[in-house]
């Protein structure tokens, strides 16, 4: 069978692209590398999310405040509106939306190659009119298209149990000694549990694991974090900004594969879902009119939605790179670089 669309990757970008197109009655196949959903993540989702979530989407805590710490531990509070989700449960809920809409999902089926007709993957081949590469930061689709690797921040995280998180507050901690090039996050997942992790750039001289263990053991917040370490994980997120080109004949890139995560905060779920809907609607228009040149409109739509915020953040990323190994510079310049300060927007 020839599919109308093959989606590579069953993360948020892939599932929502697949759901949107399948809902319009087209044949959609999703190829997922892993046997189940397991994307590494802290799980903060802003309530600006543009889809209706099912009740089973893994929400663990509501977040109404973001507390950002300077290196000297003074802090700034900002009202925000979002939630922390258990990412595998959240992703599975989105896969279920795609399946309910009629998409077929093949697990343990990594993309191996793009072929003249479609794709080859572990276990077979399939042909398709259109392909959406939603396979994350180290996208195989992008590499098969000959694109450069993206600049990344590398991350480590624990789910800490028997700790004292601040209810309803996501805590963000900037300090060159613990997270050079990035920051530490503490996101409550319950009354006595929190996801605690960090991301660093190449400015770091130790591994993210070492920085994280040091933070939990000896930072000024250590006392509140002396609990049980569970669910250790590592991951990476793109910090190089939106790729210039998102559409390559009949192949589109969506989500982290296209550099849609914020280069400073690292948040990418909301953007991935926003772009996935745009991708899905553009694909539907191209299939309806049998005109693949219409796919180019996806790039225009995404740039209208994301180029400005991601471009601004990329500029801030440059500044953070300059300051990130000095607590003195971080202390002075943080308001200009972090999204909850008014100086960021000036
Ligand atoms: C430690 C960490 C914490 C984060 N915390 C947050 C947060 O709190 N909030 C937020 O908004 N963002 C966060 N992010 C970023 C967020 O996870 C991503 O921006 C988001 O997942 C992007 O969605 P996606 O669908 O594009 O990619 P992904 O979620 O990465 O999904 C890609 C999918 O493609 C699959 N895949 C990969 N290669 C292949 C292949 N060859 N063939 C088939 N399938 C393949 C993968 O298995 C995966 O299922 C975090 C990232 C990390 C690493």
Kindly report the CATH number assigned to the domain that includes residue 226: 3.30.9.10
Complete edge-to-edge strand list for the sheet that includes strand 184-190:
44-46, 75-85, 59-69, 169-173, 184-190, 193-200, 152-161, 228-238
Same domain, yes or no, for 134 and 227? no
Distance of CA 336 to the CA centre of its chain: 23
Residue 331 sits in the same domain as residue 196: yes
Q: Which of 17, 47, 86, 261 is the pocket-test mutation for ligand 1 (most atoms within 8 Å of CB)?
A: 261
C-alpha span between 40 and 57 (Å, rounded): 16
Q: What does the pLDDT read at residue 208? A: 98
pLDDT classification of 245: cutoffs 50, 70, 90: very high
CA of 40 to the centre of ligand 1 (A): 7
| pLDDT, position 227 | 95
Interval between CA 68 and ligand 1 midpoint (Å): 24
Summarised one tens digit per residue, pLDDT across range 47-78 is 998 888 888 899 999 999 999 999 999 999 99
Same-domain status, 210 and 88: no
Tell me, what DSSP letter sits at residue 239? -
Stretch 95-116: mean pLDDT, rounded?
A: 97
Q: Are 260 and 181 in a shared domain?
A: no
| Ramachandran bin of 92, using left for φ above 0, alpha for ψ from -120 to 50, beta for the remaining angles | alpha
- Locate 156 and state its tokens: 């480590």
**β-bridge partners, 3:** 128
As a whole number of Å, the end-to-end CA separation of the chain is 54
Centre of ligand 1 from the C-alpha of residue 149, in Å: 16
Our count of domains for the chain comes to: 2
Query: Where does the pLDDT of residue 1 fall: very low under 50, low under 70, confident under 90, or very high at 90 and above?
Result: confident
Whether the full predicted model's pTM is greater than 0.85, yes or no, is yes
Ligand 1 touching residue 195 (CB < 6 A): no
Do residues 37 and 131 both lie within one domain? yes
Tokens of 333: 């310049």
What pLDDT is attached to residue 162?
97
- Residue-number span of the structural domain to which 332 is assigned: 152-238+318-345
Confidence bin at 116 (pLDDT 50/70/90): confident
DSSP 52: P
């Amino acid at each position: 069978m020839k599919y109308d669309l093959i989606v590579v990757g069953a993360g948020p970008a892939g599932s929502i692209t697949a759901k949107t197109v399948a809902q319009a009655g087209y044949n959609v196949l999703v190829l997922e590398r892993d046997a189940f959903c397991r994307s590494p993540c802290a799980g903060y989702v802003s309530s600006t999310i543009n889809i209706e979530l099912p009740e089973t989407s893994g929400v663990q805590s509501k977040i109404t405040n973001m507390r950002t710490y300077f290196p000297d531990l003074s802090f700034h509070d900002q009202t925000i509106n979002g939630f922390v989700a258990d990412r595998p449960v959240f992703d599975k809920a989105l896969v279920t939306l795609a399946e309910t809409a009629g998409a077929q999902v093949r697990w343990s089926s990594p993309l191996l190659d793009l072929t003249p007709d479609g794709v080859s993957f572990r276990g077979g081949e399939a042909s398709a009119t259109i392909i959406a590469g939603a396979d994350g930061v180290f996208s195989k689709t992008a590499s098969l298209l000959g694109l450069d690797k993206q600049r990344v921040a590398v991350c480590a995280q624990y789910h800490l149990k028997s700790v004292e998180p601040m209810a309803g507050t996501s805590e963000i901690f900037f300090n060159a000694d613990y997270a050079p090039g990035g920051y530490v996050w503490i996101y409550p997942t319950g009354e006595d549990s929190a996801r605690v992790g960090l991301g660093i750039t190449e400015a770091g001289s130790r591994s993210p694991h070492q920085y994280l263990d040091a933070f939990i053991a000896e930072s000024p917040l250590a006392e509140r974090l002396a609990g049980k370490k569970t669910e250790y994980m590592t991951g990476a997120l793109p910090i190089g900004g939106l790729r210039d080109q998102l559409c390559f004949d009949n192949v589109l890139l969506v989500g982290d594969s296209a550099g849609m995560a914020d280069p400073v905060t690292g948040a990418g779920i909301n953007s991935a879902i926003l772009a996935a809907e745009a991708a899905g609607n553009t694909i539907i228009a191209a299939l309806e009119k049998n005109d693949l040149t219409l796919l180019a409109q996806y790039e225009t739509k995404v740039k209208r939605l994301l180029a400005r915020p991601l471009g601004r953040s990329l500029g801030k990323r440059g500044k953070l790179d300059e300051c990130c190994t000095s607590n003195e510079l971080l202390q002075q310049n943080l308001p200009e670089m972090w999204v909850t300060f008014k100086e960021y927007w000036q």
